Amino acid sequence: MKFDLDQNTRKEILIAVTEKLEDYYANTKACKITPTIDVANIKNLVSQVDLINGMDNFEAIDYVTKNLKENSVHTPHPSYFGLYNPRSNYAGIIADLITAYFNPQLAAWSHAPFAVEVEAHLIAELASKFGYSTNKFDGVFATGGNEANQTAVLCALNNQYPNFNRDGIFSVSKKPIIYCSEEAHHSVHKAAKTAGLGYNSVIPIPVGNDQKLDTTILKEKIEVSTQSNHAPLMIIGTAGTTGAGIIDDLVEINNIAKEYNIWFHVDAAYGGAAALSEKLRNQLKGIELSNSITFDAHKWMSVPMGASVFITSHPNILAKTFSISTEYMPKDADKLEVVDPYCHSIQWSRRFIGLKLFLSLLFYGWKGYEETINHQADMADLLRNKLTNNGWVVLNKSNLPVVCFTDEKNKNDQNFTTQILENIYENGNSWLSVYPINNINCFRACITNYNTTESELDELIEELNIERDKYTK
């Protein structure tokens, strides 16, 4: 047995892997989207392999790819109208392979100058797309929106409390409060928990009829907080809610944040990609006024997980929050006027996350992204039209490709959606989720895949119509 495989074996393995992966990538649509779940069987599949001696390399590759194929929800499928999980674009896939080969260490600038500068340049490009001033921003790549939101809470705390860096939560006398829409992503609560503030420090603000955070109630809640033993810390506006794809009124939220001197963060994990389209950009009006932004490249920009960015209009806050000095880390950055990412981030050892986005831009350009994003928005418009023409009603008011709908006659029947979804999952031809709007259980279809076309929309509607007929019969 040899740990270091010889060149011929490596080539043969690469060819075998490429064949399997290409077969999956080219024929994703032939897969049944939803696997049949048999927990005992899956546990057995994993636990019965011989990890003491291992197995033949080629058998190992068969084993892994076969089981991923048979036991995953196929989010890369063009009829996966699901959560914000994309089909990985090809440049992103190749970038992850290249990253694994070179395995650059991005903790310190001097170990990976090209990689660190690529990420810094991408942060600058994105900051400018979001309308931040070109000389007043900073940012860092993160594993996901969860880490980026956590970064935001820590930055807000360090901005608000001069001694937070040294004394942490013991430097805070009143309970810091985070306000966000009740439709905000629950990574906000997680961020509050991991920052030591606790779940209850998040005050969810109800949404109005437009499904946006109700700014009148927001102001009332801030007033109540300031009169009690609470200290408002930050307001989070969501740009693209997870449920209904709604963008809060960012301009009005910013006005309130400025009035009370509170950190304004925009969670644009999904909807931030609207900034890349001339047609959709104005939906994000107000984002340029924020103190910080979360944006996931692994959602609408279709790079493989996990790739997110945290961007802030405060150039010094990341260093203030995360810098640390050690004896053993390279010190070159001090002399070179460059930034060591480990001093700007929750992470230490860092993977070259940014390459997935950089290579995608080298392959397709911002222009290619704009076309793709517009295509997905157009597909959602088409889906709304087709649904309406087939007697369905759309209940969310989103301009992003998220469509929540139901059937007028059956809308108050709680079982209608869940029963039909059960059948759809069983069929395995399409995948969509359920989301309540005004207490009505809606179907939720997101065009999250860049290669979803009109045929997939027609197939979805045909299946929905058939299931509705079966249900009402």
Ligand X SMILES: *Cc1c(COP(=O)(O)O)cnc(C)c1O
Question: Under the rule (CB under 6 A), what is the footprint of ligand X?
Answer: 84, 144-146, 185, 187, 238, 240, 242, 267, 269-270, 296, 308
Residue nearest to ligand X (CB): 145
Taking the complex as a whole, the smallest distance from the CB of residue 273 to ligand X amounts, in Å, to 11
DSSP code for 372: H
Burial code of 60-81, b = ≥16 C-beta within 10 A, e = fewer? ebeeebeeebeeebbbbbbbbb
Beta strand pairing status for 292-296 and 80-81? unpaired
Question: Comparing C-alpha atoms, which of 6, 460, 12 is closest to residue 468?
Answer: 460
* 185 Cβ contact list (under 8 Å, min separation 6): 145, 149, 238, 241, 242, 267, 269
Taking the complex as a whole, the smallest distance from the CB of residue 354 to ligand X amounts, in Å, to 15
Strand blocks (E) in 320-412 = 392-394, 402-407
Nearer to ligand X, 185 or 356 (CB): 185
Nearer to ligand X, 225 or 283 (CB): 283
Question: Comparing C-alpha atoms, which of 345, 359, 380 is closest to residue 303?
Answer: 359
Taking the complex as a whole, the smallest distance from the CB of residue 18 to ligand X amounts, in Å, to 28
Say if residues 29 and 78 touch (Cβ distance below 8 Å).
yes
Say if residues 424 and 461 touch (Cβ distance below 8 Å).
no
Instruction: Count CB neighbours of 420 within 10 A.
Output: 22
Q: Which CA distances in Å does 308 have to 145, 170, 356?
A: 6, 31, 11
Q: Which CA distances in Å does 357 have to 93, 110, 231, 368?
A: 10, 22, 38, 13
Taking the complex as a whole, the smallest distance from the CB of residue 382 to ligand X amounts, in Å, to 23
Nearer to ligand X, 33 or 307 (CB): 307
Taking the complex as a whole, the smallest distance from the CB of residue 307 to ligand X amounts, in Å, to 8
Taking the complex as a whole, the smallest distance from the CB of residue 245 to ligand X amounts, in Å, to 9
Taking the complex as a whole, the smallest distance from the CB of residue 271 to ligand X amounts, in Å, to 8
Amino acid at 140: V
Cα–chain center distance at 303: 10
DSSP code for 111: G
Taking the complex as a whole, the smallest distance from the CB of residue 414 to ligand X amounts, in Å, to 26
Taking the complex as a whole, the smallest distance from the CB of residue 146 to ligand X amounts, in Å, to 3
Could you give the CA distance from residue 59 to residue 44 in angstroms, rounded to a whole number?
17
Could you give the CA distance from residue 431 to residue 87 in angstroms, rounded to a whole number?
14
Could you give the CA distance from residue 404 to residue 393 in angstroms, rounded to a whole number?
9
Nearer to ligand X, 296 or 370 (CB): 296
Could you give the CA distance from residue 102 to residue 74 in angstroms, rounded to a whole number?
29
Taking the complex as a whole, the smallest distance from the CB of residue 392 to ligand X amounts, in Å, to 25
Nearer to ligand X, 212 or 468 (CB): 212
Say if residues 424 and 432 touch (Cβ distance below 8 Å).
yes
In terms of residues, how long is the chain? 473
Cα–chain center distance at 404: 19
Nearer to ligand X, 109 or 270 (CB): 270
